[in-house]
Amino acid sequence: MNRIFACSLVLLVAGCTAAAPESAGAPVAVATPSARAAFDMGPAYFPGPLPAGETLVGAPPAAGSEAMKRDEALSAAGLALHGTERFRLSAADANLGPGGVNGAFSCTAGVAISDAATPAIMHLLRRATADFGTSTSGVKARYNRARPFTVNDKPTCDPASEEALRHNGSYPSGHSAIGYGAGLLLAAVFPDKAAALTRRGIEFGESRRVCNVHWESDVEAGRVFAAATFARLQSDPAFREDLARAQAEAKGSLPAPTSCAAEAAALAQG
């Protein structure tokens, strides 16, 4: 992952460091602990923004429009969940560092997705989430939309990231693209759980609205970018090879020993 790519990722922290190249089939090597703590991702299969991404979505909703009124109403609904288990889950979903994305999907997959238990799946997930995360960056820069917490002056689920997010466009949501893309990816790895994994990917993005760092239209646009990026990945031989290895590994994976009741209850709150 080169420095430009690392800096363009989702910009949840101030500053960037370069990451070392990843060898085929091996966990990604990151140059510094601080970089790894922010993003547990590998080199993208197709680094950079999705080509012609601006043709996928229009401009974000204009002030006073019906679409903006919908964004504001759904933002208020998200704010009403602050302090609940759903709000705490949104804080967990904000984590893109070690244990973040893989941990968010382990319950739904029914498998403890980790370097120790599923190295091939982790390799695929790390690389592809980098593609999903950077796919939105061109359109983000084009519109540089203000995030809801800067408009409503209400708290977020991740205060430590607020200063960096103030200077990073809200539309489309890179987190939503990562979550929905990871759901699609893992649905291909665990096809018997495709619907549930795709739904968890949607909820991963909705956590950003509950967290008060994205509008609903940001989240929805992120899903569009994830779908296009997932389709694009199918054309890459390295991706297809990594996917085949992950699918083979999934067939021999042991069930996760933990209960998912708490996560299910949190998601049921809205």
Q: What is the pLDDT of residues 150-203, one digit of tens each?
A: 999 999 999 999 999 999 999 999 999 999 999 999 999 999 999 999 999 999
| 175-201: burial string, b at 16+ Cβ within 10 Å, e else | bbbbbbbbbbbbbbbbeebeebbbebb
Tell me whether residue 82 is one of the annotated catalytic residues. Answer: no
Do residues 105 and 197 lie in contact, with contact meaning Cβ atoms separated by under 8 Å? yes
Cα 169 to Cα 173: distance, rounded to the nearest angstrom: 8
The token duo for 191 is 């096809």
Residue from 126, 147, 200, 208 carrying the catalytic annotation: 208
**Along the 270 residues of the chain, how does pLDDT read in single tens digits?**
333 333 445 343 222 323 333 333 333 332 333 333 578 999 999 999 999 999 999 999 999 999 999 999 999 999 999 999 999 999 999 999 999 999 999 999 999 999 999 999 999 999 999 999 999 999 999 999 999 999 999 999 999 999 999 999 999 999 999 999 999 999 999 999 999 999 999 999 999 999 999 999 999 999 999 999 999 999 999 999 999 999 999 998 877 766 788 888 898 888
| 57-76: burial string, b at 16+ Cβ within 10 Å, e else | beebbeeeeeeeeebbebbe
Cα 198 to Cα 189: distance, rounded to the nearest angstrom: 12
The Cα angle at residue 161 between residues 109 and 157, in degrees rounded to 5: 60
Tell me whether residue 175 is one of the annotated catalytic residues. Answer: yes
Tell me whether residue 214 is one of the annotated catalytic residues. Answer: yes
Tell me whether residue 208 is one of the annotated catalytic residues. Answer: yes
Containing H/E element for 102?
A: helix 100-109
Cα 74 to Cα 69: distance, rounded to the nearest angstrom: 9
Cβ neighbors of 138 (< 8 A, separation 6 or more) are 48, 49, 50, 53, 54
Cβ neighbors of 227 (< 8 A, separation 6 or more) are 180, 184
Containing H/E element for 48?
A: none
Cβ neighbors of 75 (< 8 A, separation 6 or more) are 148, 152, 209, 212, 215, 216
Residue from 126, 147, 175, 223 carrying the catalytic annotation: 175
Looking at this protein, which amino acid is placed at residue 266?
A: A
Residue from 123, 147, 209, 214 carrying the catalytic annotation: 214
CA 252 to mean position of chain CA atoms:
26
Nearest Cα residue to 195 out of 184, 203, 206: 184
Residue from 71, 93, 131, 218 carrying the catalytic annotation: 218
pTM for the whole structure: 0.87
Using DSSP's 3-state secondary structure scheme, residue 111 falls into strand
Going along the chain from its start, the domains and CATH numbers come out as 43-267 (1.20.144.10)
